[in-house]
Amino acid sequence: MRDNQDLQRTMTSRHIMMMALGGAIGAGLFKGSSSAIDMAGPSVVIAYLIGGIILLFIMQGLAEMAVQNNKARTFRDLVQSHLGKYPAYFLDWIYWKMWVLNIAAEAVVSAIFLQYWFPQYPIWFLTLLVSVLVTVVNLLSVKVFAETEYWLALIKISVIILFILAGVLLLFVSFGSHEAVGFSNLTEHDGFFPNGSVGLITAMLVVIYSYGGTEIIGVTLAETKNPEKVVPKAVRSTLTRIIAFYIFPFFIIVSLIPWNEVNGVQESPFVMVFKMIGIPGADHIMNAVILLAIISSMNSGLYGSSRVLYTQAVDGRLPKVFAKLSKRKVPVYAILTCTSSLYVGVIISLVAGSKTFDYLMGSLGYTVLFIWLIIGLAHVKSRRNSFEVNSYHVKWFPYTTWFAIIALLLILVGVIFTTSFIITSITLAIYLLITLTYFFKRHQIH
């Protein structure tokens, strides 16, 4: 191992665009879709549209701050100069916590999809296999990781497009024994809002969790060529794709399948729709693609969490061992520490089995909410602190950012009242622990 070396700037616009897609299009879409539909019914489409608009406004602010501070390596660098040390510290650690919990949750979900082919193997064993695979990929060079992530993301995007086309065909065209469904399922079965506004608000936690991961663009700054040019471009092109890849599939699912039948089936709604087409083996193909998509999201998560540890160590906030780079220029000890959460997920799955994902998703939704809130507040403050005219500016500032902040606060209040007390309590305990460690370290310094 070698000390005091910098990470290499080997990632291009196409890499970080696909990383953002890889982070956002994972278990939240393919597995969480069932939970969101169960909560909101057909109105889940509205929930994802609202979440997508909020995401767009927050990410535009992130891109503008990246242009202002082209020496930034991660979120902390973007936020600290505007909001101070504590919010930056808190953001760094809840972001790290989000990804390590997320990769553990997604490892379990990938095992559930593997069980579609290998029902004789327990969840914990299949989770272990996937965990080892993702660890190995991340220990290779950043360029190998980025290329792997690029192609995995490209595969799942291609299949989502095929899914949308197949769904439109099933909705409007009758063939063989299949009759065109149309839009009757949107209003039948207790209407478009079967669970009322409470259902819509409850689903917002899954929605926010599902979109979480897009902000990984903010962690790629130290390994991206010309971040001040690449990041705004990646944000613009990525967000339209993400919103489309969520809203269109959900619209097709709730149109084709009665919403109250989606969550009672073990397989993903995506597999259910491909079965309806009647192509031999279509369900197996879709299951394989979903599995790759989730592994891709885990890949992004392990990358993001390990870089948080790396930058903390470089700045002297963690032991220097986490800043050591391998010959392939990857922070190997930071990666191995983050992968330990995967194996914790294996242990949890021994007890909780396939329910592990549901237990972890609630806490993750809270965390994404707070990450976006801090980024939004930092963006508002950044304009007050900035005297330089930059090449990239968010249009309609500050209205868009304030809209996103107020919407997130309203969602947060709604989520507190509609989420399990246990999930809320555990999340609050984690946040208090992060806060106490900050003030304890500060007290030691003084």
CA distance 445 to 151: 46
Write the single-letter amino acid at 68. Answer: Q
What is the pTM for the complete model shown? 0.78
pLDDT score, position 19:
59
pLDDT score, position 179:
78
pLDDT score, position 266:
64
pLDDT score, position 436:
92
Q: Which residues contact 45 (CB under 8 A, 6 or more apart)?
A: 247, 250, 251, 254
CA distances from 38 to 50, 123, 267, 418, 427 (A): 18, 24, 14, 14, 23
Q: Which residues contact 260 (CB under 8 A, 6 or more apart)?
A: 38, 41, 189, 190, 194
Give the residues of the chain that fall short of pLDDT 50: 1-4, 8, 10, 222, 387, 389
pLDDT score, position 387:
46
Q: What are phi and psi of 122, to 5 degrees?
A: -70, 160
Q: What are phi and psi of 325, to 5 degrees?
A: -105, 145
Instruction: Give the CA radius of gyration of the chain.
Output: 21
pLDDT digits (tens, 9 = 90+) for 82-126: 898 899 889 888 888 877 887 887 788 888 888 889 888 888 888
pLDDT score, position 16:
59
**Whats the size of the chain, residue-wise?**
446
CA distances from 223 to 70, 193, 336, 344 (A): 12, 45, 19, 29
pLDDT score, position 18:
60
What residues form DSSP beta bridges with 124?
none
